[in-house]
Amino acid sequence: MISRLRRLLSPAVRVSAREVEGPPAPRETRVREDLRDIRFEPETPNVVLEGVTAERVDFSGLRFWSFTAEDCRFIDCDFSRVQVEWLPFANGNSLFRDCRFDGAQIGDFGEVRLERCQFVDADLDGWFTFSAYLVNCRFAGRLSGVVFNGRDDTGRGKNEFVGNDFREADLDDVAFRDIDLDAQLLPQGAEYIRLRDFLGRVKAVRKEVKTWPQEAARADAEEMLRLIESVFEDEPDVFAKRSFLLEMVDSPEVGERVLELLEHSS
């Protein structure tokens, strides 16, 4: 069985598409003046903010067709239960500090910096964080379909990713790439597995698996190791849910045996 995690991290995706004419974009609500201590009530769901500082502004519960922010600062703002259709949400080197995104359905951020922001039960499915910096943010509730990237989409620029608290999060279908896991607060439940020196462990376990007498079990284990290695090939330090890794093998018994070997190999 191919896991959701493997599909999410596949290095190449082939698609076919045709261009169709969609509905016209809603009329813009353009904001250039600073906002403080107000409830934001845009005239249209297509919002563009330019060079704006927003402090203690209530955006909660709003549904946006598009939310574009160029060189903006959002301080102590409430984006709880916000929904946005056209992604990414904000961009243009904008800063979010001490903001709340509880229950928000955002999917993907653009080029932003998030400091001390809170995400409780937020739907961030599809967020790859190629252009986002995350510093001291808190995540709680289920996270699914998220890839946290420590590098930009060119693979050369480094994204700051430090001090983020995931201890109360259920990291379902979540991956960390090029990220210092020791600089984060991670869940400690038995449902997760942490593998330092990942490639070294795989090499040691593969050598052990080759000695197994049962041909079917040996073949299953070797395929599982191949799939896991293809997903995390560039990661020296791996953190994932055990259940995700077990989806990469047909036999649960073989899978558990492989994970046990990976955990205890050196």
Q: What is the pLDDT of residue 23?
A: 64
Query: Global pTM?
Result: 0.85
- CA-CA distance, 66 to 47, in Å (whole number)? 6
Q: What are the tens digits of pLDDT across the range 207-232?
A: 999 999 999 999 999 999 999 999 88
Residue 218: CB partners within 8 Å, gap ≥ 6? 209, 210, 212
Domains defined along the chain, listed by start = 30-188 (2.160.20), 195-264 (no CATH)
Q: Which two tokens stand for residue 120?
A: 């409780």
Q: Give me the torsion for CA of 105, 109, 113, 116, rounded to 10°.
A: 20
Mean pLDDT of the chain: 90
Positive or negative, the CA dihedral 220, 221, 225, 228 is positive
Q: What are the tens digits of pLDDT across the range 117-146?
A: 999 999 999 999 999 999 999 999 999 989
Q: For 222-259, b where at least 16 C-beta lie within 10 A, e where not — what string?
A: bebbebbeebbeebeebbbbbebbbbbbeeeebbebbb
User: At 149, which amino acid appears?
Assistant: N
The count of C-alpha atoms lying within 13 angstroms of the C-alpha of 204, restricted to the half-sphere facing its C-beta, is 14
Q: Which residue has the tokens 């790439």?
A: 177
Q: Residue 207 in 3-state DSSP?
A: helix
Asked if 49 contacts 69 with a C-beta cutoff of 8 angstroms, the reply is yes
Q: What is the pLDDT of residue 92?
A: 87
Say if residue 10's pLDDT is above 50.
no
Q: Residue 196 in 3-state DSSP?
A: strand
